[in-house]
Structure 1
Amino acid sequence: MDMEKKAIKDLLNKYAEGKCSEAEKALLESWYLGYNEDPVNISPRQLQEAGEKIFRKLPGGSNNKINRGTLLAAAAVVMLVISLIVQLIFHKNEPTAALKPQDIPPGGNKAILTLAGGKKIDLADAATGGLAVQPGIRILKNGSGQVVYQPVDDRKGGDQAGYNTISTPAGGIWNICLEDGTKVWLNNSSSLTYPASFRNKRERNVTLEGEAYFEVAKDKKHPFTVKSGGQEIKVLGTHFNVRAYKDEQVIRTTLLEGQVKISTADHSSSNILIPGEQALFTGHTFRLADASMEQVMAWKNGYFRFDNTPVEQVMRELARWYDIEVRYEGPVSAEKLNGRISRSKNISKVLTALEATKIVRFKVEGRRVTVMR
């Protein structure tokens, strides 16, 4: 059975990547369209009909007789798809459905830019164009919503511009291009503090709380350093993701491209990461591990990805994205959750998919979600 489950998972992944054959695509879509309204409660008669439909759609199936053994095998496939598809098929980027009572919409582009002088700018409400001018720097919001820092000819230089902070609330994300060309994608409940200009600075130092993905502009003469939760990451130009939420015990730094040096704040311990590696920092020591790039980059690509993820961690991610309060009623299940779900869906769709695993149940009251066994 484990091999059958793996085969179905592989088939679902192929569907997500657009690599399914016509027969495989028809198999999955016929089930999805036929049972999307109530995928769990299927009668024996419906199961038999579903098995016949699947058998007919397989290559050569329409020319063969359906014996009982073949039909039962097809029905078994249906049940496996039912148990797995509710966890994985929600990757499709469908438009957000009309809100139901007690439903909560997903997060979106929301952030506050705080300038060195204390002025705050709501980036979601700000119009496209100029946002502010600082010594040697002009700050713009372009047509894509990205905040861009542009150097201007100023004899004073950018060293007097001071430090700015961009912060996202629960349910907010934003993208920024710093003065040196470095691009940063900020996840929800996060903040990045940085010099408005790197001019006349030996190093490009920024501070992160929460999670962000960096594409650092190459500059061998001016290393780029990210400080977060007791660790420092030093690079010359590379792509990496840092997850440093205060409510999580481990800071995860994952390298996608290039090379980074990661060390404790006092430089008593350090490691060099290569692409595909992840450094796990517990506040005192580092542990290196292979990383699942799909899981690490899921938030930036618009979905949740759970790979043997504890229930509490799943709920922390939902709380940050949907801006909800999470409570627990009774002991939390020790079973782990797996699946891929679009972040563009209302919370009711996500909770329904998680409940279909039979590991958890939920009660929603306003913006409070109670987790039950």
Structure 2
Amino acid sequence: MEKEQLHKKLDDFLSGSNKEKVDKELFSLLVRMDECRKKATPPDKDRMWEQVCRTLKHSRRRELVRRWVVAAAIVMPLTVGIWFYGHHSNEVVPMSENVGKRHQVSLTLNDGRVLQVQQWSGDSVIQESGTGILVSAGQQMIYQAENVQLEEEIFNTLSVPRSTEYQVQLSDGTRVWLNSESELRYPVDFVGTERKVFLKGEAYFQVAKDATKPFRVMVNDMQVEALGTEFNINAYRDDDCLRTTLAEGKVRVSYPDTRQECILVAGEQAVLKEGVITTGQVNVDDIIAWKKGRFVFSDMSLEAIAHQLERWYDVEIRFDDTVAKYYRFTGVMKRYNELEQVLGLIEETTNVRFKVEGQQVKVFRNL
């Protein structure tokens, strides 16, 4: 491929096109060009092209060369991200307009550093123990492990605050959607005979298939094991139970304290409450509506609804009349509506009224 064509690919990337392909060859090139971030001046595009060509010239495998040339058009803007991170990580970085100071997604690295990942308005790349981490325009994070043999697992922790959602793709290809006020702790690369992560809050998992390495999610003392499947786990502290809902495939839910376990099939939900696991059929679309930007309240108590609204709108909802907690409501709404719109719809069909005072919402019965 001619140099002009490669430059065009680079220009397309910078203009917002062709951002989806992130593979092992891409990160291999990033590692080779990591020297750019060690210098005090921004990387020179022409010199970087020379480095890429020199790298390709010494490759012995033609197919790998071909794939690396295609990846080169994506590599250079990401290398600029490496340089930017290396020289500005200690400076104040302007936040994108739609991210408030209270609602910052944070990544805690193995050495204790905490990065506010949504502060970057464009794509950025960092390295963690031989693994490349692409932060794609502050909206999602993608891990790609290099051929580095780790003796033990190195963990990162992704924390998603109220009013925010976030996606991460783990090094094995598993995709995770994290709901507001949730936290996921996971290895940058999976070592050993299993893939184990730790969850607080709520997340939807789309697990990459690997029959040789079971995928396990640890939630307090409950364990959910899957082999190539999709499921949702709801484990918020303010709820009195843990819920696992299966969208596709099969999972095993177990609670070692009481030696209970069950196998779920698609459309089933396991509920762990007071040490007892029960199962039943549910509407999966209602359970995972948050992932699609909707609230779905199906004959739900106002107290349970309040928990969801508190997490998403970052408010405190106080019931001045305890009886109002037990009123029930059914409805479907967009999560991106203003809080006042959501409360207004509830008032129309339920015998309550709301009073919003800053970050506090008071609930009254209509007497």
TM-score (norm 2): 0.69
C-alpha separation in 2, matches of 1:282 and 1:276 = 20
* Alpha-carbon distance in 2 for matches of 1:172, 1:224: 26
Q: CA deviation at 1:124?
A: 1.4
Q: Residues 334-363 of structure 1, C-alpha deviation per residue, up to 9 Å, x if partnerless?
A: 331000010111111111111111322101
Secondary structure at 2:112's aligned position in 1?
A: coil
Tell me the distance in 1 between the aligned counterparts of 2:181 and 2:257: 27
Please tell me the root mean square deviation across aligned C-alpha atoms, in Å. 2.1
Residue 353 in structure 1 maps to residue 324 in structure 2: no
Amino acid paired to 1:264: Y
Picking from 235, 239, 262, the partner of 2:226 is: 235
1-side partners of 2:103 and 2:179: how far apart?
Answer: 10
What do residues 5-34 of structure 1 show as CA deviations (whole Å, max 9, x unaligned)? xxxxxxxxxxxxxxxxxxxxxxxxxxxxxx
Q: CA deviation at 1:106?
A: 11
**Counterpart secondary structure, 2:303:** helix
Task: Give 2:136's aligned residue.
Answer: 142
CA distance in 2, matches of 1:125, 1:267: 44
Q: Which residue of 1 aligns with 2:277?
A: 286
C-alpha displacement of 1:265: 3.6
Distance 1:346 1:263 in 2: 39
Q: Which residue number corresponds to residue 221 of structure 1?
A: 212
CA distance in 1, matches of 2:103, 2:192: 31
Residue 309 (structure 2) pairs with residue 321 (structure 1): no
Amino acid at match of 2:310: A
Aligned to 1:125: 119
Structure 1 residue runs of 5 or longer lacking an equivalent are 1-104
The 3 A distance-change label for structure 1 pair 107 and 341 is: farther
Correspondence 1:192-207 to 2 at 5 A: 192-198=184-190, 200-207=191-198
Instruction: Find 1:163's aligned residue among 141, 155, 158.
Output: 155
Is the aligned partner of 1:330 residue 2:330? Answer: no
Paired letter, 2:186:
Y
Q: State the AA in 2 paired with 1:276.
A: G
Letter in 2 for 1:192: L
Aligned position for 1:212: 203
Asked if 1:367 is matched to 2:355, the reply is: no
Q: Which amino acid aligns with 1:246?
A: R
Amino acid at match of 2:134: L
List alignment gaps of at least 5 residues for structure 2.
Answer: 1-98
Match of 2:37?
none
Per the alignment, residue 298 of structure 1 pairs with 289
**Which structure is higher in RCO with an 8 Å CA cutoff and minimum separation 6?**
1
- The verdict on how the C-alpha distance between 1:190 and 1:144 changes in structure 2, with shifts beyond 3 A counting, is closer
Q: How many residues align?
A: 266
1:158–1:196: 8 Å Cα contact kept in structure 2? no
Separation in 1 of the partners of 2:189 and 2:258?
26
Matching residue of 2:81:
none
- The alpha carbon displacement at 1:160 in A equals 4.8
Measure, in 2, the Cα distance between the counterparts of 1:283 and 1:138. 41
Distance 1:283 1:136, change over 3 A: farther
3-state SS of paired residue (1:273): strand
Q: Secondary structure of 2:162's match?
A: coil
SS at match of 2:165: strand
Structure-1 separation of matches of 2:151 and 2:242: 31
Asked if 1 retains the 8 angstrom alpha-carbon contact of 2:103 and 2:162, the reply is no
- Separation in structure 2 between the aligned mates of residue 272 and residue 245 of structure 1, nearest angstrom: 22
Q: Which amino acid aligns with 1:275?
A: A
Distance 1:227 1:312 in 2: 27
Which residue pairs with 2:107 in the alignment?
113
Other-structure match for 2:26: none
Matches within 5 A, 1:83-102: none
Cα deviation, 1:302-338, whole Å, max 9, x if unaligned, reads 0100001001000110000000011111233333100
For the residue of structure 1 that corresponds to 2:289, the secondary structure is coil
**Does structure 2 conserve the Cα–Cα contact (< 8 Å) formed by 1:107 and 1:322?**
no
**Identity level (%):** 36
**Within 2, Cα distance between the matches of 1:167 and 1:144?**
14
